[in-house]
Amino acid sequence: MKFSYNWLCELVEGLDLDARRLGLEITMKTAECEGVTSFGAHIAGCPPDEIIELDNKSITHRPDLWGHLGLAREVAAILRKPLRDPVKLERIPAGEGAVGVAIEDFDLCPRYSGLVFDNVTVGPSPLWLQYRLEAIGLNPINTIVDVTNFVMAELAQPLHAFDRDLLHGGTIFIRRAREGEFLTALNEETYKLDRTNLVIADANGAVAIAGVIGGLDTGINERTRRIVLESACFSGSSVRKTSAKLKLRTDASMRFEKSQDPVNTVRGLARALELFAQVSPGIRLVGGLADQKKEIAPPEPITLPMDWLTRKLGREVAPEEVRDILERLSFGVTETAPRLFSVTVPSWRATRDVSIKDDLVEEVGRMIGYDSITPRPPAVACTPPPDNPQRMFLRAVRSALAAQGFTEVSNYSFLSEERARQFGFDPAEHVVVANPISSEQGLMRLSLIPEICGNIIENSKNFESFRLFEAGREIHKQPAGLPREVPHAVAAIYSRENGEQNLCELARAAQCLVPGAEIRPAAARCFEHPARAAEVVWRGEVVGRLFELHPSLLTGRAALIDLDLERIQRLSAVEKRYRPIRRFPTSAFDLSVIADLRALIGEMQKQLAGLAGEWLESIEFLRRYSGPPIPEGRQSVSFRLTVGAPDRTLSLEEVGAIRARIIDGMRALGYELRI
Amino acid sequence: MLETTLSQLEASARERIAAAATAAELEAVRVEALGRKGALAGLSKQLGALPPEERARAGKLLNAVKAELEALLASRQAQFEQEALRARLDAEWIDLTLPPPGPRPGSLHPLTQIQTEIEDLFTSLGFAVLDGPEVETEYHNFDALNIPADHPARDAQDTFWLADGNLLRTHTSPVQVRGMERFKPPLRMIAPGRVFRHEEVDASHEHTFYQVEGMMIDREVSIAHLVYFMKLLLACVFRREVTVRLRPGYFPFVEPGFELDIQCLICGGSGCPVCKQGGWVELLGCGLVHPNVLRMSGIDPEEWNGFAFGLGLTRWAMMRYWVDDVRLFQSGDLRFLGQF
């Protein structure tokens, strides 16, 4: 929202701060000033101006600040200067209005006021008026429209002028639109309306979308001689809904949706009446004020205890100072008991902004300046916070992977349907974004893998080899309620060639998260190397997958591991108990198993261990060998087994018996053994 | 007569020990002089022929020479051994500047790092670190935070809506609500995490970024306490004292609400492109928890007070590391991420 410094000077008597310093004061006490820029040149009657721009987001709660007078009130209060109110209500004569007003629902339209003028001349506005509008970014159009815009910019009260001769009948209806009712607006767009939209209508149909935009057919033109000037108050949320639905934001709708002050409608008309007389000579008011309104009870006074205020602010403010601040801001203050104020709220702050004592903390706080409050640690009970084991675990996972040489990446939670399909996921199983930025990002990820693959391919353009990982959430759709968000870690090792080594190193690195995990070969998914895919089994559950990325997907080779961190964390929670260190010597012997080339070493190891029995201390894979004299298609795999009893040294005979048992057992399982 | 021979023998042995160039030569000297068939042994055989009183004296003399030569040989021997060791170790020279094999060290994402620091600070101050879902209900993201439907504040947070009516959280503030639902006051918590805004992506806008939310609820909580914690937070992240200012800011879930600015760290407040010449940089939003928010979570605002704050971690990371393109954080580009 742009404010003209010259305009503010007219409204605040003796304003002597320059625009820049004023901007800073406003920032510190009222709302964020985004900058001050110069406007204009030396044209007679148009002195150079400075434009103070406030951040719209910082005034969404302040309907009054959408006009110069509202900001002038703040400035006057901050600088202790008198305010010049430009509105002369006495200009509106008594008497019946020359147009009827019928409001269907006072909740949607708490007040509708209007004046009728004749002998109107429509032409270009005088230079001063055009200049002022241009300074704050509004386009001058003609005398009538320019005055309505001027009043809006000054009082935050949007006005609208209808050509009286183009209206049918003598009554203006404020009603819900009929289902399927159409209106062509001043922007020459035609809108299809429904029951949720509020319209202004004449006997024939809608002539404006209430609070948003006027109709084209009843707009002001060069031939206009009589006008109806509307100054109304509409429900903020209704205007907002309509404006959002029609995707049409206007200067009027932006103000109405903040919940404007119903008292302001007649003030707007009085101001317009005065300006019309200046810019449209000969114009005549017909009749008096047409005004329909819901009786709005004045807001309940707010009880403000001084001690409570002190506790909130964290410093004492003298009651006289509190009173002075609130009165400067136009609040009414009565001391109902010692250190207890009863505060009434001015109408322009009462619609949404100020209604409870907490709101008054802000009024006092901002005026004394928050920098006058000395920071202080609280005196509170010293208790340990509840812990968050999930987060601590996630942290440990990240640190462990980084220590193993993996660099952490962070990817979007979105993916496209096409990408989901490419990875064999059914788009229907995903959580769907209703309003994605692009169709590339229409689904919520069900796996971190697709994006990690993207990372691998991109980085392979710059690096010969690398390791990376992401720890993030998979989003799993549920039949009802919120999706399940499952923390996963995906780690990858890439190199130009030698995918086998990548897989080995990845399996080794994973040992830091799932020590002793078993790798169990599994059927490959479409993006996995068909002969290099496995499940990771830990403590009896499948906790992830280890695989090589299908080599057709990239140049080079990449091994990936995908771990379900929720499951791993759950399985990690086992009590550890010390096992006494063996006091008696152990015996070791080596065995070589001759097996098919694709026989699984992990399987053999399990079988050997099973046969060795309770005295097995450890089993260690030594080497594998294929080639002469081992027959073609076979391999020799050597293990070292160590056995021992906890309470004595095993005799040679006992060790020999274990060994013989294993050999017989393995032979029975179909293996050949080299002894 | 024997004495003369002995002293000649000693002198000659000393000379030859000194002259020995290798361990083998030294060994030859030892065998010749002190060996079983060596010169000293030969002389000692002659002792028997001497008269008894002279035999004792000559025997002593002989033993003294023997001991002296042995010591000399041993010291020379040690010298050779040391030289040999030195030579062997010298041969083991390697180039320590040779780049070590194996993977280069990995690193944590800059946002993870900065987030960890903040978590540690607040944990040390007795705050819980809480998590909430990234997919949220409209109630937790908006309504329970005093942002009813059709509230203009919803505009400030362009929202990704899901087909099922839920949404992607636009801030970490819903975790406040979940915290209050889960724990009874007093409560101190922070909630770092990923948030989403429906926004086109460019060098300074992202639809996916990170925030930290914080909240304290206790019987006596004031603006003075809020500012105290904010200054600790800033000193932790920027690793130095920073000058802050608190000004009015509007967030529906706090009252009063503030924007907290720090004096620009780049120009020290004199004005530069980073602070858009203003000398101050907007860093976080905060305020005293709105009584409606407390009430909606079943906490009596007459009994309990609170403050809350929220900050954009991504923006802080950009400031700390001088990153000029926000897209880099989600790029997965190791040329960027490898720098942290």
Q: Mean pLDDT for chain B?
A: 90
Given a contact cutoff of 8 angstroms between Cβ atoms, the answer to whether A451 and A410 are in contact is no
pLDDT of B36: 85
pLDDT of B49: 82
Record: contact B161-A433, CB cut-off 8 A? yes
Residue of B nearest to A506 (CA): B103
Long-range contacts of A391-398 (CB under 8 A, 24+ apart): A391/B119, A391/B129, A391/B131, A393/A565, A393/A569, A393/A572, A394/A471, A394/A487, A394/A565, A395/B116, A397/A471, A397/A489, A397/A513, A397/A565, A398/A469, A398/A471, A398/B108, A398/B112
Q: What angle do CA A106, A111, A114 make, to 5 degrees?
A: 135
- The DSSP 8-state label assigned to residue A356 in this structure reads S
Residue of A nearest to B329 (CA): A410
Which one-letter amino acid corresponds to residue B230? M
The predicted model gives B84-111 an average pLDDT of 92
Record: contact A485-B183, CB cut-off 8 A? no
| Facing A382 at nearest CB: one of B119, B126, B256 | B126
Record the tokens describing residue B162, joined without a space.
């899901």
Residues B126, B145: Cα–Cα separation, whole Å: 24
Among the listed residues B213, B102, B340, B193, the one whose alpha carbon sits nearest the alpha carbon of residue A471: B193
How far B325 CA lies from chain A's nearest CA (Å)? 15
Record: contact A385-B189, CB cut-off 8 A? yes
Record: contact A409-B134, CB cut-off 8 A? no
**Cβ-Cβ contacts under 8 Å for A350 (sequence gap 6 or more):** A261, A299
pLDDT of A207: 96
The domain made up of A302-370 is a member of CATH 3.30.430.20 = no
pLDDT of B265: 80
**Cβ-Cβ contacts under 8 Å for A40 (sequence gap 6 or more):** A46, A47, A48, A49, A131, A135
Record: contact B161-A435, CB cut-off 8 A? yes
Residue of A nearest to B245 (CA): A371
Q: Which residues of B touch A379 (CB under 8 A)?
A: 220
Share of chain B above pLDDT 70, in %: 99
Residue of A nearest to B195 (CA): A413
How far A670 CA lies from chain B's nearest CA (Å)? 40
Helix (H, G, I), strand (E, B) or coil at A179: coil
Residues A346, A356: Cα–Cα separation, whole Å: 13
The ipTM is 0.86
Residue of A nearest to B254 (CA): A358
Q: Tell me the CATH number of domain A2-85, given options 3.40.47.10, 3.30.56.10, 3.40.50.11810, 3.40.50.261.
A: 3.30.56.10
Preferred mutation among B118, B199, B223, B300 to probe A, highest tally of A CBs within 10 A: B223
- Per-residue confidence band for B115, with pLDDT thresholds at 50, 70 and 90: very high
Preferred mutation among A310, A363, A407, A474 to probe B, highest tally of B CBs within 10 A: A407
Q: What angle do CA A361, A364, A370 make, to 5 degrees?
A: 95
Preferred mutation among A34, A64, A387, A409 to probe B, highest tally of B CBs within 10 A: A409
pLDDT of B1: 67
Residues A477, A429: Cα–Cα separation, whole Å: 7
Residue A519, CA distances (Å) to A448, A500, A609 in order: 21, 14, 17
Record: contact A391-B131, CB cut-off 8 A? yes
How far B99 CA lies from chain A's nearest CA (Å)? 15
Residues A525, A562: Cα–Cα separation, whole Å: 13
Domains A92-293 and A302-370 share a fold: no
- The DSSP 8-state label assigned to residue B155 in this structure reads G
How far B108 CA lies from chain A's nearest CA (Å)? 5
Record: contact A388-B130, CB cut-off 8 A? yes
pLDDT of B40: 82
How far B268 CA lies from chain A's nearest CA (Å)? 18
pLDDT tens digit string along B261-300?
A: 988 887 888 888 777 778 888 889 999 999 999 999 999 9
Which one-letter amino acid corresponds to residue A105? D
Residue A308, CA distances (Å) to A40, A311, A317, A361, A556 in order: 50, 5, 11, 9, 69
Given a contact cutoff of 8 angstroms between Cβ atoms, the answer to whether B248 and B257 are in contact is yes
Give domain A92-293's CATH superfamily. Answer: Phenylalanyl-trna Synthetase, Chain B, domain 3 (3.50.40.10)
| Facing B123 at nearest CB: one of A361, A385, A405 | A385
pLDDT of B118: 94
Record the tokens describing residue A287, joined without a space.
């009749």
pLDDT tens digit string along B149-165?
A: 777 677 666 899 999 99
The predicted model gives B107-114 an average pLDDT of 96
pLDDT of B156: 65
pTM of the model: 0.85
Name the residue ranges covered by the structural domains of chain A. Answer: 2-85, 92-293, 302-370, 389-572, 587-674
Residue of B nearest to A402 (CA): B106
Which alpha helices (DSSP H) does A574-651 contain, by range?
Answer: 601-612
The end-to-end CA distance of chain B, in Å, is: 88
Residue B174, CA distances (Å) to B132, B259, B318 in order: 8, 19, 25
Record the tokens describing residue A403, joined without a space.
């220590």
pLDDT tens digit string along A274-320?
A: 999 999 989 999 999 999 998 888 889 999 999 999 999 999 999 99
Residue of A nearest to B136 (CA): A482
How far A404 CA lies from chain B's nearest CA (Å)? 7
Which one-letter amino acid corresponds to residue A608? L
| Facing A356 at nearest CB: one of B130, B222, B291 | B291
Residue of B nearest to A360 (CA): B256
The domain made up of A587-674 is a member of CATH 3.30.70.380 = yes
Given a contact cutoff of 8 angstroms between Cβ atoms, the answer to whether A487 and A473 are in contact is yes
Record: contact A410-B111, CB cut-off 8 A? yes
Task: Specify the CATH architecture of the domain A389-572.
Answer: 2-Layer Sandwich (3.30)
How far B186 CA lies from chain A's nearest CA (Å)? 9
Given a contact cutoff of 8 angstroms between Cβ atoms, the answer to whether B71 and B63 are in contact is no
Preferred mutation among A362, A374, A469 to probe B, highest tally of B CBs within 10 A: A362
Residues B41, B51: Cα–Cα separation, whole Å: 19
How far B79 CA lies from chain A's nearest CA (Å)? 43
Residues A594, A266: Cα–Cα separation, whole Å: 101
Q: Which residues of B touch A241 (CB under 8 A)?
A: 150
Residues A523, A534: Cα–Cα separation, whole Å: 7
Residues A423, A450: Cα–Cα separation, whole Å: 7
Residues B195, B217: Cα–Cα separation, whole Å: 24
Preferred mutation among A312, A354, A406, A478 to probe B, highest tally of B CBs within 10 A: A312
CB-based burial, A481-513: b 16+ in 10 Å, e otherwise: ebbebbbbbbbbbbbeeebeebbebbbebbeeb
| Facing A475 at nearest CB: one of B106, B135, B329 | B135
Q: Hey, how many other C-beta atoms are within 10 angstroms of the C-beta on A32?
A: 22
Residues A80, A82: Cα–Cα separation, whole Å: 7
Residues A466, A558: Cα–Cα separation, whole Å: 9
How many A-B residue pairs are in contact by the CB < 8 A criterion?
Answer: 248
Record: contact B221-A378, CB cut-off 8 A? yes
| Facing A432 at nearest CB: one of B153, B163, B329 | B163
Which alpha helices (DSSP H) does A564-651 contain, by range?
Answer: 565-572, 601-612
Residues A61, A67: Cα–Cα separation, whole Å: 13
How far B239 CA lies from chain A's nearest CA (Å)? 19
Residues B172, B190: Cα–Cα separation, whole Å: 9
Given a contact cutoff of 8 angstroms between Cβ atoms, the answer to whether A39 and A48 are in contact is yes
Given a contact cutoff of 8 angstroms between Cβ atoms, the answer to whether A133 and A147 are in contact is no
How far A224 CA lies from chain B's nearest CA (Å)? 36
The predicted model gives B180-192 an average pLDDT of 93
DSSP A427-462: GGGS-BBSS-SSGGG-EE-S-SHHHHHHHHHHHTTT
The segments of chain A whose pLDDT lies below 50 read: none
| Facing B338 at nearest CB: one of A377, A407, A412 | A407
Residue of A nearest to B162 (CA): A433
pLDDT of A493: 97
